Amino acid sequence: MSGPSHPLRTAAAALGAVLLAAGLVAGPAPSPVRAAATITNPGFESSGASQTPTGWSESSSSGQQSASFTEAGGRSGNYRLSHWASGAYRVETYQQLTGLGNGSYTLRAWVRSGGGQVAAYLALRNCGGAEQRVSIPTASSWTQVSVTAQVSGGQCTAAIVSDARAGNWINVDDVEFTGGGTGNPGGAAQIRGVDISTLLKSQDRGGVYRDSAGTQRDPLQLLTSNGVNYARLKVWVNPADGYNNRARVLTMASRIKAQGMRLLVDFHYSDSWADPGKQNKPAAWSGYSFNQLRDAVYNHTYDVLNALKAQGTTADMVQVGNEINDGMLWPDGRSNNWANLAALLTAGSNAVKAVNSSTQVMLHLAEGGNNSQHRWWFDQATSRGVPFDVIGVSHYLYWHGSLGSLQANLNDLASRYGRPVLVAETAYGFTLNADDGEPNIFNSSSQSAGGYPATPQGQADALRAVFDVVRSVPNGRGLGVFYWEPTWTAVAGNGWDPTNPSSGNGWENQALFDYGDRALPGLAVFGSV
């Protein structure tokens, strides 16, 4: 991730055992609560094309039950549930589930929508607490969404609801109701990560963090207590503000490892932000020949990682470059010169393994739904023998496309290149309001593009949906997700520009802490995926 938009963005069980042995992922999560009841007719196949699908009920406040029906054209199988009418309508299709043990349950479904509704969502209600909802995003391709609720009292109602204008439609298929997320083919997420590169500077400038009840807590303890098991830190060569350099990374690595988290180190090979729109050389390397530049990549990578190892905080995973769709260290390593780019990537990867052979090397691209570009890029890398272990992508729903496009790309990359995949960056807004004078990246247009409301629950639902996509990658190759900068709240002096102490933060409405510094529902997602 590059940060704010203006200068910062321009444009398998065997596998699991290997990763566990290498120390890449944590061991299995505790066994979750199991559902004592499941969805009847989850694929809407039992009754074929009909008014009321077998096992389901329909209701409408205006007598428009006919707006809910099954028809040909399922995601799997032959049929799907649809909501549609020629006039405005409000209808829901639902099932009541009984005989449930107390605990956390998740409703998942594959959906499509033409958009335009007043509201369209999945809901869990009458479960013993407040109703929980997830919006059905506007998407022409099948996309999986999920919503979670705490059950007490033995029952819960799963509902599919449309409050729609004339001609609005949704399709729904392959519904699941499971305890603790057990229904997902990928099982519990192995990596539940966060990028906290700005946290040290935030705390040095007075930033504080509170749990959802308002009690001030150590932010790293708060993260781990909510299920986070991996932290990511970026490295700049000689940043103007002295943060995200070797010394500060060492400081944060000690705190991270002390909490039992694993560590991902993200090398930008720059003095400031590197992303698809800019990959500027560090000032100290600006006059280097290509051979000197290649050696500098090796030496810088080795130096930082060896220092981490020496203090007992060996990196578990390393990114050689950040969002390098168009290469790195321009112009020498731009993607129009793949021989050079491959040599730089190989130098960085070799340095990682020279320090610790079990540290995993990730290659990281933005635009997580861009399959044609990613195929081209990794075909180039693999044909030149660039060594790497993991494929990482950035995927922000409001920039990079639908959940469906992310899913198709990750499934293809994992299969085509035989490597595990993960989302190295994602985030979503919990409000459209700002907490400082810097315009926020996530705005009303972002909300429209992302498909989830800019609310605390919308943010949590968006994050859970990204986890669901990654966990469903076949053969256990979907490792998990890193949320980008959940602790980057609006703290004076901790703005986006390392050269300007008065710069603001365009990210605070995508943090996982509200404007009173309290943890938001999105943070709790890490403990339930």
User: Quick check: bond before 276 cis, omega within 30?
Assistant: no
The answer to whether the Cα torsion of 211, 215, 219, 222 is positive or negative is negative
Alpha-carbon span 115 to 121, nearest angstrom: 11
Q: Is 336 left (phi over 0), alpha (psi -120 to 50) or beta?
A: alpha
Helix, strand, or coil (residue 243): coil
246 token code pair: 């070797």
Query: How far is it, in rounded angstroms, from Cα 503 to Cα 212?
Result: 29
Q: Using an 8 Å Cβ cutoff, are 482 and 422 in contact?
A: yes
Q: Which residues of 192-202 are buried (b: 16+ CB within 10 A; e: fewer)?
A: bbbbbbbbbbb
Q: What pLDDT is attached to residue 394?
A: 98
Residues linked to residue 162 through DSSP beta bridges, in sequence order = 91, 120
- Exposure string (b/e) for 512-521, b if CB count within 10 Å is 16 or more? bbbbebbbbb
Higher confidence at residue 458 or residue 185? 458
Burial of 500 by CB count in 10 Å (0-12 exposed, 13-18 middle, 19+ buried)? exposed
> What is the pLDDT, as a whole number, of residue 528?
84
Please give the average per-residue pLDDT across 437-452, as a whole number.
91
Task: Give tens-digit pLDDT for 43-64.
Answer: 999 989 999 999 999 999 878 9
Residue 474: pLDDT over 90: no
Q: What is the CATH number of domain 5-30+186-527?
A: 3.20.20.80
Residue 14 pLDDT > 60: no
SS3 of residue 462 by DSSP: helix
- 75 contacts: CB under 8 Å, gap ≥ 6: 110, 142, 173, 174
The amino acid present at 139, given as its one-letter code, is: A
CA distances from 46 to 49, 70, 89, 136 (A): 9, 10, 26, 24
Topology match between the domains 5-30+186-527 and 57-179: no
Asked whether the CA dihedral 406, 409, 411, 413 is positive or negative, the reply is negative
Q: How far is CA 165 from CA 88, 118, 361, in A?
A: 4, 7, 50
Span 394-444, pLDDT tens digits: 999 999 988 888 989 999 999 999 999 999 999 999 999 999 999 999 999
- Mean pLDDT across 459-476: 89
176 is a catalytic site residue: no
Query: Above pLDDT 70, what percent of the chain?
Result: 91
Confidence (pTM): 0.77
User: Looking at residues 258-270, what average pLDDT do you find?
Assistant: 98
Please report how many Cα atoms fall inside a 13 Å half-sphere around the Cα of residue 201, on the Cβ side.
Answer: 27
pLDDT tens-place string over residues 322-355: 999 999 999 999 999 999 999 999 999 999 999 9
- Pick the catalytic residue from 58, 92, 176, 323: 323
Band (pLDDT 50/70/90 cuts) for residue 4 is: very low
Active-site hit among 425, 438, 485, 508: 425
Would the pLDDT of 30 be above 90? no
323 is catalytic: yes
Phi, psi of 37 (to 5 degrees): -140, 150
Q: Which two tokens stand for residue 263?
A: 């560590």
What is the rounded distance in angstroms from the CA atom of residue 351 to the CA atom of residue 359? 11
SS3 state at 174: strand
What residues form DSSP beta bridges with 156? 97
Given this structure, which CATH class describes domain 57-179?
Answer: mainly beta
Look at residue 93 and tell me whether its pLDDT is greater than 90. yes
Q: Beta partners for 105?
A: 149, 179
**Helical (H) or strand (E) element with 412:** helix 403-417
Report strand pairing: 79-84 vs 169-179: antiparallel
Place 135 in a pLDDT band, splitting at 50, 70 and 90.
confident
Strand 478-484 with 191-195, pairing: parallel
Find the mean pLDDT for residues 11-28.
36
Residue 149: per-residue pLDDT = 84
- pLDDT of 475: 87
Instruction: Please state, for a pLDDT cut of 90, what percent of the chain lies above it.
Output: 77
- Yes or no: say if 233 and 263 are a contact pair by the CB < 8 Å rule: yes
Q: Look at residue 365 and give its three-state secondary structure.
A: strand
Q: Which pLDDT value is given to residue 529?
A: 84
Interior angle at CA 308, CA 307 and CA 310, nearest 5: 60
**Strand (E) or helix (H) holding 201:** helix 199-204
Of the candidate ranges 32-36, 263-267, 297-301, the one whose mean pLDDT is the lowest: 32-36
Q: Can you tell me the mean pLDDT for 240-268?
A: 98
Q: Note the pLDDT tens digit of each residue in 281-326.
A: 999 999 999 999 999 999 999 999 999 999 999 999 999 999 999 9
> Position 251: which residue type?
T
Does residue 180 have a pLDDT over 70?
no
* pLDDT given for residue 188 in this prediction: 74
Domain spans of the chain, in order of start: 5-30+186-527, 57-179
